[in-house]
Amino acid sequence: MDNIRELEKRWYYYKVKKILLFLNSFGFVVMLGLGSYYAFIKVHLIENIFNTETLLVKSEIETPKLTVEPVLVAKPIENVIKSIEPREIVMASKNEGIEGSVPHEVSLEPIIPIIDMEKEERKSTHTTKYRAPSRQTAQSGLVRAKPSAYLTASELATINGKSYSSSSHSRDTRSIKKINLNGTSDNYIETIKKKFASNKQPREALLLAKAFYAEKNYNKSEEWALKANKLDSNLEESWYLFAKSKAKLGQKADAIKILTSYYKQRHLPKAKALIIKIKSERL
């Protein structure tokens, strides 16, 4: 009967062994699965990097072609929005192999020229003062030759034989001071707006778009970027600003759509980098 007791013990060992074996096998299968998944992800990632690098090299090679062709007119943003089907865009972005990896970063942050009007004025006054002819020179009636093609008002007066009126100078200063009092960024925008109203230059529209973007007024920046692009569809910055504004407004898909289309036309690394930034939400 002791044999049966012994046998029962052996049976318990057998069961424990069986359970352990099962757990081992199960663990092995799980590890194998995870390993395969990890390997798959890795391979996928490497493939993407490889594709991106190839694309970058390709675009670098192709860039001179763009410069060789003097007139390369990109379709305006509006046409692009109308002509591109969303499915086509997805396919295009997949084919380009952009997603996943980040190439060399190109900063696309808008550089808005915030002009400190007061400082500018001070500088201008200082220059005027500096450029004012010395007493000795005025007395001698001679004007020292200047390397610059532009002459100051006092120099011109000396050349023309007229006395330089300091009152006119002071009037100028007063008028500048008047501007100085309203030297805010709103004023800057207003000034550029006025300038745009008078000359209808795309550059002014772009400056406005940049200014609005800096103020986080993305609706306005989008609007002005579009205006700039309408006037000159080759204005690279207008594309980026428009897309960035769209992205900031939560219309990422549209932003990517626009940029992909632009990238397909121009193969600019900046455009590609921006697509990646928007996709990876690092804008």
Partner 1 sequence: MTNRFENLKNIFIDSVDKDNFVELESATYNYKILEESLNKPLKMVLLFGKPGTGKSMLLNKLYHNLKESRDIFFFDAPILSEKEFLRRVYESISAKDIPHNMRVNFDGLLRYCQKLKGEREIVFLLDECQLYSETLMEKIRLLSDTRVVKFIITLHKTDDEDIIAKQHFKTRIWEVVELSNATENDLHIYIQKKMIQKGFVEIAHMLQKKDIKFIHKHTHGNFRETNKFLYTLFDIYEYYDENIPHKVSNKKFSKKFLEMTALKLGYING
Q: Which residues bind partner 1 (CB under 8 A)?
A: 1, 4, 7-8, 10-11, 13-15, 17
Q: How far apart are the first and last CA of the chain?
A: 80
- CB-CB neighbours of 275 under 10 Å: 23
CA distance 27 to 42: 22
- CB nearer to partner 1: give 15 or 177: 15
Tell me the Ramachandran region of residue 104: left when phi exceeds 0, alpha when psi lies from -120 to 50, beta otherwise: beta
Tell me how far, at minimum, the Cβ of 28 lies from partner 1, in Å.
Answer: 21
In the complex with partner 1, the residue whose CB is nearer, 1 or 114, is: 1
- Where helices occur in the chain by DSSP H, the ranges are 2-68, 77-83, 86-96, 117-131, 135-140, 153-160, 166-181, 185-199, 202-214, 218-231, 236-248, 252-266, 269-279
Shortest distance in whole angstroms from residue 29 CB to partner 1:
23
Write down the least CB distance from residue 281 to partner 1, Å: 57
Smallest distance, Å, CB 14 to partner 1? 4
Smaller CB separation from partner 1, 11 or 37: 11
Measured distance CA(202)–CA(222) in Å, rounded: 14
Distances (CA, A) of 196 to 98, 111, 204, 226, 239: 37, 19, 5, 14, 19
The minimum distance between CB 24 and partner 1, in angstroms, equals: 16
Least separation in angstroms between residue 21's CB and partner 1 is 12
Q: Which is nearer to partner 1, 12 or 130 (CB)?
A: 12
Give the nearer residue to partner 1 in terms of CB position, either 7 or 71. 7
* Pick 14 or 40: Cβ nearer partner 1: 14
- Smallest distance from partner 1 to CB 13, Å: 5
Q: How many CB atoms lie within 10 A of CB 233?
A: 20
Q: Three-state DSSP class for 198?
A: helix
- Residue type at 181? L
Q: How many CA atoms lie within 13 A of 186 on its CB side?
A: 2
The C-alpha atoms of residue 84 and residue 150 are separated, in whole angstroms, by 52
Please say which residue, 7 or 68, places its beta carbon nearer to partner 1.
Answer: 7
| CB 7, min distance to partner 1, A | 5
What are residue 247's phi and psi, to 5 degrees? -60, -40
Can you tell me the distance from the alpha carbon of 124 to that of 128, in angstroms, rounded to the nearest whole number?
A: 6
Closest CB to partner 1 among residues 10, 126: 10
